[in-house]
Structure formats: structure tokens, C-alpha cells
Amino acid sequence: MKKVLVAYASRTGKTQKMAEFIAEGVRMLGHTADVKKISEFKKPEELNQYDAYVFGCPTYHRDMTAGMKTFLFLAENLNLTGKMGGAFGSYTHSGESAPMIYDTMEFVYKMDMTDLGALSLKEAAIETSDGMKACQDYGKAVGSKLPS
């Protein structure tokens, strides 16, 4: 059993819902998933104990949130090379945040990112059965590349 961190920022709860569904998908494969707000992390060491990382935040002003930028600098201090990763975010019309986070994880941290790419969902779709399934499938895709 491996341990996955699903860390998110969310102002109105949509990206938080995505995080919870993604964690469900991870758990369906028998792994452990912690769902935590990025603001809970103050030191890089607190991020150390995981086998895979899925980070998410919504898009505001065609950008990721300021908190996520700070969090990504914090995570830079870990050696995440080769670790399994994914990125997600809720949006209404442009949805830049998830691909931006995904790019940082892939090209800066050199993580082994899921082949599904970033998971961007329009907020109206998240709490539909298709939206929930897309998130769960994303969690499964991350979990399925982890040795049990």
C-alpha cells in the first residue's frame, strides 16, 4: 500500500470537491490518500512522506492562485524526481491553473506525471456523475502506476 498526497487550494469549495473525488479513486486501488489544504504545509519536510503527489487549485484571473505559487516553491526543496504526479483544478471559462501546475511538476521537479495530463473541470460538471467519475478515474490513473 502506497501513500498519496492530494493537496489543494479552493476558495468556494469546487476544487476541494475534486480533491476528495480524486482521493476516492486512489483509495479504490487500495492505497492511502491524504487530502490536505496547501496552507497546512509550512516546511518542505512535511511533504516528505508520500509516494505520489497530486496538486490542484482553481483558475483566477487566468492564473493559478498566489498560494499555489508559494506552495510550489516550498515543494521545490524536496527531491521529487521520478515520483508519480498529477494536477487538477476547477474553472469556468479558461482553466489555466491545472496545466500550469502540471508543467511545473513535469519540467521543474521532473516527476513521472500521469499520461492523462492535467485534469481541468468546469465547475458545473464537478458534482455530476461524469465529473465525479473523471476525478475518481484520475486518482486511479495515479494510483495504478504505484507498485502495491
Ligand X SMILES: Cc1cc2nc3c(=O)[nH]c(=O)nc-3n(C[C@H](O)[C@H](O)[C@H](O)COP(=O)(O)O)c2cc1C
Do 114 and 142 touch, CB atoms closer than 8 A? yes
Q: How far apart are CA 20 and CA 43, in angstroms?
A: 23
**Which of 7, 33, 47, 58: binder of ligand X (CB under 6 A)?**
58
43 binds ligand X (CB under 6 A): no
User: Which one of the spans 24-32, 53-61, 101-109, 134-142 is the region binding ligand X (CB under 6 A)?
Assistant: 53-61
Q: Which three cell numbers stand for residue 78?
A: 524536496
Report, in Å, the least distance between residue 92 CB and ligand X.
4
Smallest distance, ligand X to C-beta of residue 11, A: 3
Neighbour tally for 37: CB within 10 Å: 14
Q: How far apart are CB 15 and ligand X at their closest, in Å?
A: 3
Among 32, 36, 37, 60, binds ligand X (CB under 6 A): 60
Positions 90 through 129 that interact with ligand X (CB under 6 A): 90-95, 123
Q: Given the rule CB under 6 A, which of 7-15, 67-75, 99-107, 140-148 is the region that contacts ligand X?
A: 7-15
User: Which residues lie closer than 8 Å to 66 by C-beta, 6 or more apart?
Assistant: none
Query: Residues 86, 54: contact at Cβ < 8 Å?
Result: yes
What span, in angstroms and rounded, lies between the C-alpha atoms of 112 and 51? 11
